[in-house]
Amino acid sequence: MKKLLVLTTACLVLGTGEVWAQNRTVSGQVTSSDGRPLAGVIVAVKGTNVRAVTDANGRYTIEVPATGQQLVFSGQSVASREAAISGNTVNVTLASQAVALEGLVVTALGITQREKTIGTSVQSVRGEELTRAPEANFVSALSGKVAGVSVTNTSTQGGSSRIVIRGAASISGNNQPLFVVDGVPVDNSAPRLNGFTGTGKTQGAVDYGNAAADINPNDIESISVLKGPNAAALYGARAANGAIIITTKSGRNARGLGITANSNVTFETPLVLPSYQNQYGQGYGGEFDYVNGRGGGRNDGVDESWGPPCDGRPIRQFFSEGQPVPFVCYEDNVSSFFETGRTITNSVALSASSDRVNGRLSVTDVRTDGMYPGMELGRLTTAFNGGLRLTDRLSADAAVQYVRNEGLNRPGVGYQGTNPMQQFVWYGRTVDTKLLRNHRNQDGSQFNWNYNYHNNPYWLALENRNEDDRDRVIGNISLNYNLTDWLTANVRSGTDVYSEFRQRGYTQGLVGVPYAVQGGLHEQDRYHQETNTSFLLSANRNLTSDFSLSANVGGNRRFSVDRDSYRGTNRLTVDRLYNIGNSAITPTLSDSTLEKQINSLYGQAQFGFRNYLFVELTGRNDWSSTLPQGNNSYFYPSVSGSFVFSDAFPSLLSGILSFGKIRAGWARVGNDADPYQLASTYITGTAWSGAPAYSYPNRLANAELKPEETTSIEAGTELRFLEDRLGLDLTVYQSQTVNQILPVQVSTTSGFNERVLNAGQISNRGMELAATVIPVRLSNGFEWEMRANYARNKNKVDELYGDLQTLVLGSYWGLNVEARRGEPYGVLFGNSFKRDAAGNVVVGANGLPIWGPRQVLGKADPDWTAGLTNTIRYGGLDVSVLVDAKQGGSVFSVTNMFGAYAGIIPETVEGRCGGPNLPPCSTNGLLINGVTESGQPNTVRVNPQDYWQYLFQLHEPFVYDASFVKLREVRLGYTVPGRFTNRLGVSGLSLAVVGRNLALWTDMPHIDPETSFDASNVQGLEFGQLPSTRSFGINVSVTP
């Protein structure tokens, strides 16, 4: 019924229109202040949705309805302006402006709205901001650029980035925003790696990146970030976490035939590697003597560095063929393993437009040679975007991009043998990495420094095979029909489809790799498709001279299917023959299909009063296939308003204030379940000689699930001062998510691990501030602009289920990441030191600290994030520097925990004692700063090896403040002036030196605090992080 009501209302509203009126044709030319024709400027009849675009000569023609009074001109990098329609020719000059402070933004459903009419927080990022200092993953390139958007990158090259807007709202579900490209929702899934070896499909734990990273930054015209459910109420449930609306470049802006070529090359080196001690070598208790590397000699199977001093004393070592040779430490034995990476990006874009046709074709190729030996990544994107004006009323647009992604030799990540950093956390300080480069013995077997636990890192990198590729098409077609001058109908169908192949092949003879016992092969075929088909009717008109209305009514059908097929074996008959037919055992097979459909109807209406007061209402109803019949329909409304008080009371516009607006919004968004949550299913067990076996379900399903519900309110203000040289945008918000569809962990004594419930409540509140300041703008063209953003979010798990205090999201080495009642989502919960009332660590009679209770040791999310971009332009020069920061938030660093256990980090040097080669512990050992149980200062010295190894799984000392400041982007660019380029025979040429992640300031020892295992909800953990990249390079852009 509700849907009919929406439609009827829409019909009534639309039905109150007036009689048809006569159109007239207006044309003219748009030029820049220096007299150049401006192409691609949008010309709109104010109060309608009639639009035209200027051609290469800056000329336009537009059909103006009789009611039309004003034309609005807006475009990239120019100040918008309005002009009264007087006569049939309107020529305007637009001032160039770096920041389009008053512009049009793309909001939900691709509706372009004037910024000032919007009652919710939307922040735009221009494409050029993403490519200023090139980063292949555009999600990562958003770091520091949008208030309230927190990006966390796994440090792996080509790895995934997690993006969360305004904090996590869902306890167990997805907390990342919806990505939409030209109106088509696109997949952003990323492998869930679990920190360890992975299971089944993820065995080998390779981070293949997040799927939205396929979108080529060079093709992005602009991004609108819709931050809360308010802004996204029209995109449906998935946008409850906000939405990233991407508009790709089209040919509309082309000046006749436009050709742009862009090339850049950057070089990558590790930003952070642990510091190592270089005083003591491999061994145990001060002793080491190599015989066979697996326990045959004295501690030669030990991979730790508690050995003798590396003072050059003669000791038999792994390479010395039984001869004692000088025992020395190698300072750079980890860093020298990594190579200088190189990324080359080449792109060419062709575009053209006429009054009937426009198009843009681009090809971009990105090739990376990784820092990890043998690693290569490649991405080829071909994109076409075209528009046809078929008749005066009918136009058609299409956009399609084909993306080919290839990966070779991506390293494993997490705590497992194919991650090189796992071994480097244990790597003997006396191991000379150069000698391992030759990684084969005469007989072809592996030559290594230790045969108990590790593989030669070069063997891992160069002898195994790890390949993946993904072919993806994202496209849409749409038809636009202007029914009247104020009413447009649009039909759109778009799809995102990809197929992906992932293969991990392992040679025989690996040590400690359970998924490659005697060789191994793991292959996965993935297929994803999501198709959305929608219609939209848009009305846009002035009802009276005071009242205006814009309204949209539409419907959508979304169907998605994900198929995943895996085959794997941990034994191969013939070494290095990577075909599943070569499995020495019955291969493991698995197969899954997930299908989902959601039908929706929605409507939006915005009422305007005198162009300064706007009220917007939205409503949407979804019918989801994943909820029980009869309970699968849910409606969600929103209301928001915007009041431009500087327009309402022009007297406020003194010399100081130049624009002022306040806004507020309320929204509720529903959310459905994942497919197949309503019935419990048996779990495939371990087949016996191929005969099937099953285990009773361990997740108790719920046949009566209800949709989740997020309610949010936000309010904000936009103020601009001093002729727009200072702009402020402030938002405060609060949201609550209830009825969460939650697999609640239950005591396993019930026979189940978890049961699915509607339960729990999470609240988020916070504020966001974006500011733009132009401290200096001189008449000679010199301009200094600062853009800053700051966001603070307070998140709290208000309730789980009944008396349930905690829900464990993930658990590693005894440390849990939990959703704990009364605490922020994602606290780190683990073992602490026992402390006395004064906070001193209590030490036992043996001189070692006593373990205290398990408690909250930190939280994954930061308190606040901030970014600051400084840009200076003068003549052809431009300099820009982005610094971003995260404050608060913690990381449990297992690199530090095991680095201490293994005695490789400098902290472990103090007090080395015991054994034949070292002084006695009673006098030279480590004295722990603490008090005895009776309150006396500790006087018992201990062997530091005992101390640091005793701290294993005592998590507190290894949970660190993860605050940091990063010099994220630096660019120094020069646009060659026309008088020189003309001589070179090109019309435009610019050069730039660019850098990313050039510096890091943090208290975090040994690792980059910006880290994660994967893009899942389990954050705040680090182990064996591959070094994050510092990149540096040059960029050349040519327009022939």
Partner 1 sequence: MKLLRLSRKLSVVALAVAVGACDEGLTDLNQNPNAPTDVPADLILRNAVQSVANTALGVGMSWNHAGLWAQHVAQIQYAEEDRYQPRVDNIQAFWDALYVAPAKDFDVVASKSRAANRPLQEGVGLVMKSWTFGVMTDLWGDIPYTEALQGDASGNFTPKYSTQQEVYNGLFTDLRRADQLLAPGGATGFGAADLIYNGDGTRWRRFANSLRLRNAMHLTKVDAAKARSEFEAAIANPVLSSNADNAVLRYTGAAPNQNPFFVNVLSRDDHRISKTMVDMLRNLNDPRLPVYAQPAQSNGQYVGYGNGLPNNSMLLADASKIGSAFLAANAPAYFMTAAEVFFLRAEAAQRGWNAGGGTAAQHYAAGIRAAMEMYGISSSAIDAYLAQPSVQYDPARGFQQIATQKWIALYLQGYEAWTEWRRTGFPQIAPGPAARGPVPRRLPYPGLEVSLNKANLDAAIARQGDTGLAGRVWWDRP
Question: Interface with partner 1 includes 745 (CB under 8 A)?
Answer: yes
Question: In the chain, what is the straight-line distance between the N-terminal and C-terminal CA atoms, in Å?
Answer: 59
**Neighbour tally for 508: CB within 10 Å:** 19
Query: CA angle, 300 as apex, 298 and 303 as ends, to 5°?
Result: 135
**Residue 17 Cβ vs partner 1, minimum distance, rounded to whole Å:** 7
Residue of the chain from 357, 574, 683, 722 that contacts partner 1 (CB under 8 A): 683
Question: How far apart (Å, rounded) are the C-alpha atoms in residues 729 and 720?
Answer: 9
CB of 128 to partner 1, least distance (A): 39
Pull the structure tokens for residue 556: 């959508």
How crowded is the C-beta side of 688, counted as CA atoms within 13 Å?
2
Q: According to CB under 8 A, which one of 200, 512, 637, 906 is a site residue for partner 1? A: 512
Looking at 350, 398, 517, 850, which residue binds partner 1 (CB under 8 A)? 517
Contact flags string 546-565 toward partner 1, x per CB under 8 A: -------x-x-x--------
Under 8 Å between Cβ of 755 and 702: yes
How many binding residues for partner 1 (CB under 8 A)? 106
Least distance (Å) from partner 1 to the CB of residue 688?
Answer: 5
CA dist., res. 669 & res. 177, Å (int): 13
Answer yes or no whether residue 126 interacts with partner 1 by CB under 8 A. Answer: no
Kindly state the smallest distance separating residue 642's Cβ from partner 1, in Å: 28
Amino acid 873 reads R
Name the maximum alpha-carbon separation found in the chain. 103
| Residue 213 tokens, joined | 């990273």
Contact (Cβ atoms closer than 8 angstroms) between residue 913 and residue 287: no
- Asked whether position 855 contacts partner 1 by CB under 8 A, the answer is no
33, two tokens: 């202040």
The binder of partner 1 chosen from 84, 442, 443, 691 (CB under 8 A): 691
Among 547, 649, 694, 874, binds partner 1 (CB under 8 A): 694
Element (H, E) at 925: none
Among 199, 441, 681, 922, binds partner 1 (CB under 8 A): 681
CA angle 598, 603, 608 (to 5 degrees): 155
Residue 939: count other Cβ atoms within 10 Å of its Cβ.
9
Residue from 57, 69, 346, 625 binding partner 1 (CB under 8 A): 625
Shortest Å distance, C-beta 198 to partner 1: 16
State the Cα–Cα distance between residues 889 and 1012, nearest whole angstrom: 13
We find the least distance from the C-beta atom of residue 550 to partner 1, in angstroms, to be 17
Site string (928-967) toward partner 1, x via CB under 8 A: -----------------xx--x--xx--------------
Pick 461 or 598: Cβ nearer partner 1? 598
**Residue 639 CB: number of other CB atoms within 10 A?**
16
Is 686 a binder of partner 1 (CB under 8 A)? yes
Q: Are 420 and 337 in contact (CB under 8 A)?
A: yes
Residue identified by tokens 């026979």 is: 751
Q: Which amino acid is at 980?
A: F
Query: Does residue 25 belong to the site contacting partner 1 (CB under 8 A)?
Result: no
Calpha distance 305→428 (Å, rounded): 5
Least distance CB 826 / partner 1 (angstroms): 16
Minimum CB separation of residue 675 from partner 1 in Å reads 6
Positions in 196-255 near partner 1 (CB under 8 A): none
Within positions 785 to 804, which residues make up the interface with partner 1, using CB under 8 A? 804
Q: Measuring CA to CA, how many Å separate 54 from each of 22, 25, 146, 363, 978?
A: 23, 15, 30, 25, 23
Question: Taking contact as CB under 8 A, which single stretch among the options 79-87, 373-381, 625-633, 663-671 is the one that binds partner 1?
Answer: 625-633
Backbone angles phi, psi at 951, to 5 degrees: -75, -10
Smallest gap from Cβ 689 to partner 1, in A, equals 6
**Which CB sits closer to partner 1, 338 or 813?**
813
- Under the binding rule (CB under 8 A), the answer on residue 748 touching partner 1 is yes
- Cβ-proximal residues to 613 (8 Å cutoff; 6+ apart), any chain: 641, 642, 643, 644, 648
**CA–CA dist 519, 582 (Å, integer):** 10
Q: Is 808 in the site for partner 1 (CB under 8 A)?
A: yes
Residue 15 sits in the site that holds partner 1 (CB under 8 A):
yes
> Phi-psi bin for 921: left (phi > 0), alpha (psi -120 to 50), beta?
alpha
Q: Please, which of residues 434-453 interact with partner 1 by CB under 8 A?
A: 452
CB nearer to partner 1: pick between 124 and 624: 624
Binds partner 1 (CB under 8 A): choice among 535, 607, 609, 784: 535
Binding residue for partner 1, selected from 66, 357, 390, 483, defined by CB under 8 A: 483
Residue from 537, 713, 913, 962 in contact with partner 1 (CB under 8 A): 537
Decide if residue 750 touches partner 1 (CB under 8 A).
yes
22 is a contact residue toward partner 1 (CB under 8 A): no
Amino acid making up residue 485: D
Query: Taking contact as CB under 8 A, which single stretch among the options 100-108, 312-320, 750-758, 1011-1019 is the one that binds partner 1?
Result: 750-758
Is 20 one of the binding residues for partner 1 (CB under 8 A)? yes
Q: Is 596 in the site for partner 1 (CB under 8 A)?
A: yes
Residue count of the chain, please give it: 1040
Q: Do the beta carbons of residue 114 and residue 104 sit within 8 Å? A: yes
Residue 569 CB, nearest approach to partner 1 (Å): 8
Residue 601: both structure tokens together: 């109807």
Instruction: State the nearest-atom distance from the C-beta of 520 to partner 1, in Å.
Output: 11
